[in-house]
Amino acid sequence: MLINLLDALAGTGDLSEQARGWLMLDPGLSLAILRATARPDTDPGPRGFEALCGQISLPTLKGLVSDTALRQLAQPDSALQEQDWLHAISLAHLCRSLARHTAYPALDEAWLAGLLGDLPDSQQALSELPMRGFLADVPRLLREPASRLRDATLLPRLAATAWQLLKRRALDSDDQLSLAPAPDHESLSAMLQEMDKSVATSAALARAQQDLSSAVARFTRAELATTGMHERVGDGVLAAARLLAEQEGLYDPVYLCLDNRTSMLESRDIGELRAPPISIRMEGSNTAAVRALYTRMPVVVYRDPESEASPLDLQLARQAGADGIAAIPVREGATRGVLLVCGDREALAEVAAHPERYARLGELAGRAAAPTELAAAGGDAYLGGRVRRAAHEINNPLGIIKNYLAILKAKLGDDAPIADELRIIHEELDRIVRIVRALTQDDDSLAELSEATDIGALADDLIKVTGPSWQARGIRVMHQTRPGLPRLDCDRDKIKQILLNLLLNALEATPDGGEIRLETGLITNHKRERFIELQITDSGTGIDPELEQHLFDPVETDKGDDHAGLGLAIVRTLTENMGGGIAYKSGSSGTTFQLLFPLG
């Protein structure tokens, strides 16, 4: 299953429905995903496994799949044997069927209970997961008789009943007492037949390719190709042609572009490679290029006597001294084209065996237009493309950091002295992920995320996070909050961004040994309208009068690369967008900023 999943993920920018279904077919991968998503407040039951997978960025998911595959390669003696895997899949099917029969609300959790419940060391592995729910109880109760399980929760009873059913292919009345309603003989037979059919299908799919090491190598090459598409600054088609030559042994590229006015495929230069004079009329053509364009999938033809290759295909292959050619469709916005490459039989067979991967390569080639063309088409489009590429790359290390934080938190426990700091770091990483995700979406697709926020607690967290930057300078940061301060319904991330900008500005203005005061309170105006008040006061020398007129305007700054000159502009914009107001007063003894947010 890992081999097929690797092929499905290689080079892609999204997760297909078919690949999504395969995530639950490998016990090692399922356990790795649970480890990556496990938190003390999570429960794999009501949320569902697919929802948990949705919390993982695609680069991190790719890393988990390849890591699981590499672990099996590195430790073949401890890798899951085929019979163990078939047993786990069978148990998962039966457990989910029984869950459906008893109207258990979390079918994914029942599946995981069967998949992981009877594996070696599963009890320890599941017990180490820092999550809620009763999944960890399944291995220790799996072989208990029904009479001892009557008082247990339903999940271990489902797994134990499935285990007995798989073992005997039947159940006696005592076993059935552990479930209500107890399945009758006809229902049990239907469950077993469904299981046998599904397991046979999965086994056939799993045996389609046996060489895991070559699959990992193919996956790695495809990911490098994807990275190359993002990093190369030249024409995307040229980048694709070079990658196919360097990594796949496919050479002598010819690029044909469709002229929509004449319905002709016309050859074009690829970088410095001069195009041969080729013109193909789409109507009635049997060339590999036209077939690839119509099907939107790669087409491979060989120089065999019995081959149905067109004269042009045979000409190109003969001229290159190749066994045949591959036609890979390329889409450049509204323009369509085909990249023809030649190769020996082995290289071409790789294209024929994995057409989806090469189709994605063609899609990436179409997206990777030259930066000068993008800039000419519009600065916003060019900037948007750069932001999306940056977001793609940022998500990978963020996912890894979050995984290691989860592991560290699980090892230290909830009572560890730094548990609170780990929580804050994890929340800040989540905030970065949301910011990055927002940058890759259109403005009108961004929704306000309103939640009841404890402003005082949020301020305490930010003071703790920024501690290293002011403690080393001998600065004192004091926070005073009104007891029982009402929660504010707001976008928590935006309030945090506002406070953090103001706090960092105050730290820059305050000399070593100085003092910063942060106050959170509640005020009522003459109209009896209530507001949450935030005040932050530094002990600097005040704001230069020449700067006050443009204090909230975005400006160029001479503070260095870490500063964009946007802090106060962002603060005012976010505050006003939330219906609040901002004011300040400044003098030789310091500056105070006051923010008011209306309570609904």
pLDDT for the residue numbered 96: 92
Q: What angle do CA 93, 95, 98 make, to 5 degrees?
A: 110
Q: Which of 233, 175, 176 is nearest to 372 (CA)?
A: 233
Secondary structure (DSSP) of 370-385: -HHHHHHH-HHHHHHH
* 201/92 Cα distance (integer angstroms): 15
Give whole-number Cα distances, 135 to 21, 40, 156, in Å: 20, 13, 8
Torsion of CA 248, 254, 259, 265, to 10 degrees: -100
Give whole-number Cα distances, 572 to 9, 545, 575, in Å: 43, 19, 5
Which residues fall within 8 angstroms of residue 152, CB to CB, at 6 or more apart?
137, 141
**What pLDDT tens digit does each residue of the chain (600 aa) get?**
777 777 777 766 677 777 888 888 888 888 888 888 877 777 777 778 877 887 777 777 877 887 777 777 665 544 456 677 788 889 999 999 999 999 998 898 999 999 888 877 777 778 877 777 788 888 888 888 777 887 888 898 999 889 888 888 776 655 555 677 888 888 888 898 888 888 887 776 655 445 666 667 666 666 655 555 544 434 678 878 887 887 788 999 999 998 877 889 999 988 778 889 999 988 889 999 999 998 889 999 999 877 778 999 999 999 999 999 999 998 755 568 999 999 999 999 989 988 877 887 887 777 654 343 434 344 444 445 555 555 555 555 555 565 556 666 666 776 777 677 677 676 767 666 666 665 555 444 444 567 788 999 888 888 887 887 788 889 999 999 988 899 998 888 788 888 888 998 899 899 999 999 999 999 888 788 899 999 999 999 998 887 877 787 765 444 443 333 456 888 888 888 888 999 989 888 899 999 999 987
Q: Tell me 57's DSSP state.
A: -
pLDDT for the residue numbered 362: 84
Contact 4, 67 (CB under 8 A): no
In the beta sheet, which residues pair with residue 591?
586
Please give the CATH topology (third level) of the domain spanning 234-369.
Answer: Beta-Lactamase (3.30.450)
Tell me phi and psi for residue 543, to 5 degrees. Answer: -90, 135
Q: Which of 246, 248, 338 is nearest to 292 (CA)?
A: 338
* 7/220 Cα distance (integer angstroms): 10
Q: Which amino acid is present at 121?
A: D
Give the residue extent of every domain in the chain: 2-206, 234-369, 376-445, 450-598
What is the homologous superfamily of the domain 2-206 according to CATH? Hypothetical protein af1432 (1.10.3210.10)
Q: Return the axis-axis angle of helices 107-117 and 27-37, rounded to nearest 10°.
A: 120
Tell me, rounded to whole angstroms, the distance of Cα 242 from its chain centroid.
Answer: 29
pLDDT for the residue numbered 372: 39
Contact 107, 46 (CB under 8 A): no
Q: Half-sphere exposure of 316 toward its Cβ, with a 13 Å CA cutoff?
A: 29
Q: What is the per-residue burial (b if ≥16 Cβ within 10 Å, else e) of 109-127?
A: bbbbbbbbbbbeebbebbe
* DSSP 3-state of 503: helix
* 77/238 Cα distance (integer angstroms): 44
Q: How far apart are the first and last CA of the chain?
A: 52
Neighbours of 249 (CB within 10 A): 15
Please give the CATH topology (third level) of the domain spanning 450-598.
Answer: Heat Shock Protein 90 (3.30.565)
In the beta sheet, which residues pair with residue 265?
258, 280
Q: Which amino acid is present at 584?
A: Y
β-pairing, 264-268 vs 251-259, is antiparallel
Give whole-number Cα distances, 196 to 161, 162, 166, 201, 469, in Å: 17, 14, 11, 9, 62
